[in-house]
Amino acid sequence: MMFITRASVLLLLAFPSVISEVVDFSKCSEFFFTGKPPEILVENNQCKTICQKYDGRYRFATLYDTTNRIPVFSAYKVTVDKEIDRPENTWMNEPQLEVSSDEMGMPYQNQATDEDFFDNNLNVNRGHLFPSCHSGDEVIAGSTFTYTNIVPQKISFNSGSWNRMEVETIKLMSVHCRDKKDNKFWPMC
């Protein structure tokens, strides 16, 4: 079993696929501050830019490292102004990252699978980079359940300090991300 060891910054075939596009970030520039994605230095074309499309609309952007099978970052708009329940979604894969082949091998060579996250000896599970709790509604929350948006995290960290950070971030944004008329101003946050 291969475990992903690379840290992140900031499917089996039976599982459904997210309908996204492995395209230049210009297609989903709305998720970056001032509409400009960061300048990215990538060697050997190992990272792919993904505009995550779900239910007919772009929901967030991801830079995904296909060599290490892990997202480098996910960029999104925080649109939540109310608490929503965590969806009971099935984890999705990104079919455009895979090269179709008639040869036998792993179901997915360029992205993680459940096996990368569930090893009792490692005590890790799936940790969102774009947390579902930062979504404005159930559809956006559902779009975050893709293997291109998660990293292996120690279970105690994911349910402990990482979870607290996700919740505190929302609280801070609800207080400090406002326009001059004191209206919530999420697009800038």
Percent of the chain with pLDDT over 70: 74
Average pLDDT, the chain: 77
- Could you tell me if residue 17 is inside a domain? no
- Could you tell me if residue 14 is inside a domain? no
pLDDT of residue 7: 28
- Tell which phi-psi region holds residue 45, choosing left (phi > 0), alpha (psi between -120 and 50) or beta: left
Q: Which position has the higher pLDDT, 185 or 39?
A: 39
pLDDT in tens, 20-43: 667 788 889 999 988 988 887 666
Amino acid at 170: I
- Could you tell me if residue 158 is inside a domain? yes
Q: How many domains does the chain have?
A: 1
Which ranges in the chain belong to alpha helices (H)?
138-143, 155-159, 161-176
pLDDT in tens, 32-91: 988 988 887 666 678 889 999 988 899 999 999 998 899 999 999 887 666 777 888 788
pLDDT of residue 167: 86
- Could you tell me if residue 146 is inside a domain? yes
Contacts of 35 (CB under 8 A, 6+ apart): 29
pLDDT of residue 103: 59
pLDDT of residue 175: 75
pLDDT tier at 180, thresholds 50, 70, 90 = low
- Could you tell me if residue 4 is inside a domain? no
Q: Is 122 helix (H, G, I), strand (E, B) or coil?
A: coil
Total residues found in the chain within this entry: 189
Quick one: average pLDDT of 168-188? 68
Q: How far apart are CA 66 and CA 82, in angstroms?
A: 35
pLDDT in tens, 104-142: 556 678 888 888 887 667 888 889 999 988 887 888 899
Amino acid at 1: M
Q: How far apart are CA 73 and CA 78, in angstroms?
A: 15
pLDDT of residue 3: 32
Closest among 108, 106, 151, 103 to 128, alpha carbons compared: 151
Q: Which position has the higher pLDDT, 172 or 102?
A: 172
- Could you tell me if residue 73 is inside a domain? yes
Q: How far apart are CA 127 and CA 158, in angstroms?
A: 6
pLDDT of residue 182: 65
Provide the residue range defining the domain that includes 91: 25-188
